[in-house]
Chain A
């Protein structure tokens, strides 16, 4: 009995290793292709640096989407969740750091655009420990708002039993609406340097956003592989009915799944607004399609239950390298959308046919091995 279990375990890890190697090879291939096509501009310091700073915000959103899709659902509200989390935390940060010098309305009317007042305001901000405290509060606010938005999605999916597509389509509009009501569509800017560090600073030579991204990957990998919750997410995605009959609390697991996705959106919002020093409704809209594309490219089945984080992370890298290649070649945004859309369908076709093949093979093997251990 025990040896049987072990053998299966080893086999799955082997196939996962193979898969990761395949993704790594694909990444190297794409990287080399770009390098050969445009050697001077692709390898220029600014391009590689830009890549290192731009990958994390998209990557964090994508791994959040991955969690939702493994559970058999989808979250179409990740971008607007990130916008809402960013805007609320920006307001908290700006009001705290301009306490007494500026009120919320002035903030929202965009007085910050004037350079001289802006500098004066920057100088009037608190410094040292007080500022670090404010940044900590900001970070917590963004994470909390993201998580709350996610929890609401999870509530709709798990408790009210709305299909994830529709539930998150509705909340997408809702969160966007709330963010619009708060800001009236104008951008918020003029963040303190201590906060900007999160998006454009470096730690030991590594860009801070990259550090945050790597920490998020490790955290999610541990959650998905080592905790009962992670196993539960896979089980619910694979077969919700079987999961329920084997004693799992499906709705609790789904609640936590969407909360995690929301949390990642909040984190991505922080990185995004710290990199460009502003936040506005509509930032990152193009990531919607791309994040689904990346998750499917990363080997997560479109019906849930399978997939691992390594594949998705490599897909993020692959997509961003291709995207920077488009930048260099001067493709318009519209042309890029055409390419991403075509890629989405092609990848979905390839992966789904590949998966059905693997599954039938697995089933055959199970049939050949017989159901002896079960009996």
Chain B
């Protein structure tokens, strides 16, 4: 009996299961196209997925607290535009000031969301749907020229930096990109906050039961303000990563990343009804999404199939976790009886 429960517990854990699925998936894709499981491709996935990963960390925190934020892409777009234009206008700055400024702007916009969610107790979907169209609409009605195709060199220099490099058998030099390093640093920070601070406990507590959290003495205002400004902060950082990687400023491209980010978080096992979710799971979810899109390209699937596949992946993964949950519930009931 004891043994059976342990194995079932392990199977119910999301992260090991997802990891196994990823490995099986990688082996299958690699047997079709051997270019998949090469160091080049793997490091490329690590690099390109870091923007989504950065935003996913913020979305995960919001979802752990039982809410949803769909305004983070608008926040990212606005902070990207404002930061890059401002630093170009004063003709100063470097990559550090860019990241800090964008993060600050994002956090301030996130505070607006947090204010409405806390003060008026509105559904988070309604608030962020509203602020999303306010932020993006204001930006586009103010801007004369929404695209910038030349940005200062320090953005690109940053994306070319690597923590370490090595040469493969094929002779190409690859390394762990600074964008990925930044993602890892933020992931570590989020993990520390969630794991070891009162704030982190509070985020889980709010997601479990907000009324109980209030009675237990958590400062709901502070926690919710932190949650929504933090997702704004990560969106700001992600926007500068976008500029660094693609070397342009675009008013719409980041808006389309929303569903992929949410899909990655859900795929990583964060429960939508709040109260559970891990950093490792989220990172695995992000890489899984990128492995899927990358493998579609390598297998020669036409690009218009991508939304269909992503849609299926979202539905399938949420469906699985929803079913796991109801299974777990019945198990608890049996034990109680």
Q: Which of B57-94 contact A (CB under 8 A)?
A: 68
12 new A-B contacts, CB < 8 A, other than A302-B123, A341-B132, are A156-B315, A162-B272, A162-B315, A165-B68, A166-B314, A174-B308, A181-B304, A303-B123, A338-B141, A340-B133, A345-B116, A352-B121
Q: Is the CB of B129 within 8 A of A289?
A: yes
Cα–Cα distance between A181 and B263 once the two chains are bound (Å): 21
Q: Is the CB of B315 within 8 A of A163?
A: no
Interface of B is mostly: helix
Cα–Cα distance between A180 and B122 once the two chains are bound (Å): 35
Chain A CB within 8 A of B140 CB: yes
User: Beyond A303-B123, A334-B137, is A166–B304 a contact (Cβ under 8 Å)?
Assistant: no
User: Beyond A171-B311, A335-B137, A338-B133, is A177–B122 a contact (Cβ under 8 Å)?
Assistant: no
CB-CB nearest in chain A for B119: A349
- Chain A positions near chain B (C-beta within 8 angstroms): 74, 156, 160-163, 165-167, 169-178, 180-181, 184-185, 289, 292, 296, 302-303, 332, 334-338, 340-342, 344-345, 348-349, 352-353
* The residue from A177, A341, A352 contacting B310, defined by CB atoms under 8 A apart: A177
Q: How large is the interface on B (under 10, 10 to 19, 20 to 34, 35 or more residues)?
A: 35 or more
User: Beyond A161-B322, A348-B122, is A177–B129 a contact (Cβ under 8 Å)?
Assistant: no
CB-CB nearest in chain B for A163: B272
Q: Is the CB of B137 within 8 A of A336?
A: yes
CB-CB nearest in chain A for B143: A334
User: Beyond A166-B272, A169-B259, A177-B310, is A332–B318 a contact (Cβ under 8 Å)?
Assistant: no
Interface of A is mostly: helix
Q: Is the CB of B126 within 8 A of A338?
A: no
Sample (6) of A-B pairs whose CB atoms are under 8 Å apart? A177-B304, A292-B126, A341-B137, A348-B120, A348-B123, A348-B130
Q: Which of B119-153 contact A (CB under 8 A)?
A: 120-123, 125-127, 129-134, 136-141
Q: Is the CB of B314 within 8 A of A170?
A: yes
Min distance, Cβ A188 to any Cβ of chain B, angstroms: 16
CB-CB nearest in chain B for A332: B141
Q: Is the CB of A174 within 8 A of B311?
A: yes
Chain A CB within 8 A of B312 CB: yes
CB-CB nearest in chain A for B68: A165
Chain A CB within 8 A of B45 CB: no
* Interface-central residue, A303, A332, A337, by most chain B CB under 10 Å: A337
B263 cross-chain contacts in A, Cβ below 8 A: 170
B314 cross-chain contacts in A, Cβ below 8 A: 166, 169-170, 173
Interface string of B254-298 (1 = CB under 8 A from A): 000001001100100000110000000000000000000000000
